[in-house]
Amino acid sequence: MTLVGLVRVSTDKQNVDRQHDALDPICVKVFEEKVSGKLAVADRHGLSAALDYLRDGDMLCVQEVDRLGRDTLTGLMTLAELFERGVAVKVLTGVGAGEHKEMSLLLELALVLASERRRDIVKKTKDGLAAARARGRVGGRRPVMTEALTIQAVALREKGFSIRQIQPHLRIGDGKNNGKNPSTGAISQALRDYDNAKEASA
């Protein structure tokens, strides 16, 4: 059995090092894609290339099951198509960790939990930002850390990233600093404001 790896993130700004660190040492080849996990298999160049490379008896390897699909439905459809093609899947970490040759309740549960976790992070972040705006200053310069950037920062922090590790993944979308990374101070302040607002609204 040969392991063939798949690394996926949704955008060019996201870091793939953590996935490569897990897959590169154990896989004969690792395919990478920076596309939405909501796309069909045929529209995902990395996954399609991995499937073309796989031979009978090989196994597709991912770090976490949600690398195969960003939400529950897409993940289930992707897994169903892989199993129909006779492709086995190895998941390294998380609820669905293990080797799988067919759909199981464990895989379904892993996808549901991953999707719920992402929705929970986004909801809490938006709630915290709304509370911060309700208590915030009126006027002044537009903050560098927008709601979207703060949501990204919170999600990365949830994965264990430090502020310095978060910084390269964030890009300012407009104004004179368009395309630049926000400062670590701005990121730290945005995270503090988020945490304080969440506490206040709890």
The residues annotated as belonging to the active site are: 10
The helix or strand, by DSSP H or E, that contains position 102, with its residue range, turns out to be none
Three-state secondary structure call for residue 80? helix
Q: 89 forms bridges with which residues in the sheet? A: 60, 100
Q: 34 forms bridges with which residues in the sheet? A: 9
| Residues 6+ positions from 91 with CB-CB distance below 8 Å | 61, 62, 63, 64, 65, 97, 98, 100, 110
Rounded to 10 deg, the angle between the 105-135 and 184-201 helix axes is 90
Q: Under a CB-based contact definition with an 8 Å cutoff, are residues 135 and 200 in contact? A: yes
**Residue that has been written with the tokens 């993130």 in this structure:** 9
Cβ neighbours of 181 (radius 10 Å): 18
